[in-house]
Amino acid sequence: MSACSTRSSRLAAFLGIAFAFVISHQAWGAVKPQAPATAAQSGTETFTVQENIPYASVNGSALHLDVYEPAGRGNRTRPAVVLIHGGGWVSLDKRTMRGMGQLLARARFVAYSVDYRLLQGDQNRWPAQLDDVQRAVRWVRAHAGQYGVNPERIGAFGHSAGAQLAALLGMEDTRDNSDPALASYSSKVQAVVDVSGPTDFIRDHESEVGFLTDFFGAPYSVHPEVWREASPVFHAAKDDAPFLIVHGTEDQAVPMSQAQELFEKLQAAGVPASFVKVNDAHTFQTPEARRQLAFEALAFFNRYLIVTH
């Protein structure tokens, strides 16, 4: 099998399988379901979790998010991070980001784990998912005062399919600005953590991956512009947000070359970018890999989202 065929097969496998980013107890502390507006204890720090807050209604269906808010708001606003789950754009939900939400709240960030529309048959094709997460960021800005958030210090963290969406949040502003209540708010974030994300759907398009053709609504040969617009590597520009790219060296779902390509494109555009290779698979199975991700992500968000003056 050729290298191109191998890459196509691995990408196709990723697109057809749902991957959960479940944080281990060793890395993040025990993760338990939280009731709406409950308090959780972590040493001397507490944080609250508010679940299933509607942030939008699309075609009569509500989209929800969960808020992980540090206790003790004080007089200063806090940075925020929008968490975007994986699942191949077809499954899973915001609950898979509980561990990361708790970690960030303990570190004094306000974290928002968001749901977005999933592909179901011929419903919710691309770019529905991008529209939803952009709407979520604008909702966070519109409600910044309610949660004590600095609207100019918002990051995005995504895993797998969610990483592709997070990357675009750091590159492009609002695509669908039809909601008058949010029209004055930007959807662009100030820092991106991309974990195990696909970045280039054009590569090996001659295989006409079946799922991608369905997801984008047409094969590459018919509408190449759709495939290109969904690929973060083609949005690298000087005004992009800083990026932390984290990828497993043993990832059999999304090839390492996808992360490498994005890193190189960002560097060439003059964007602050770091690329961390972790000795693990797509979903980071070992406690060591998850601890490394936690350390790198917190250090990155502290660097780019915390106001020091």
| Domains of the chain, earliest start first | 3-305 (3.40.50.1820)
Residue 143 has pLDDT above 60, yes or no: yes
Q: Which residues of 87-122 are buried (b: 16+ CB within 10 A; e: fewer)?
A: bbbbbbbbbbbbbbbbbbbbbbbbbbbbbbbbbeee
The DSSP bridge partners found for residue 61 are 58
Residue 308 has pLDDT above 90, yes or no: no
Residue 26 has pLDDT above 80, yes or no: no
The pTM for the full model equals 0.88
Render pLDDT for 71-90 as a digit per residue (tens, 0 to 9). Answer: 988 889 999 999 999 999 99
User: Quick one: average pLDDT of 247-273?
Assistant: 97
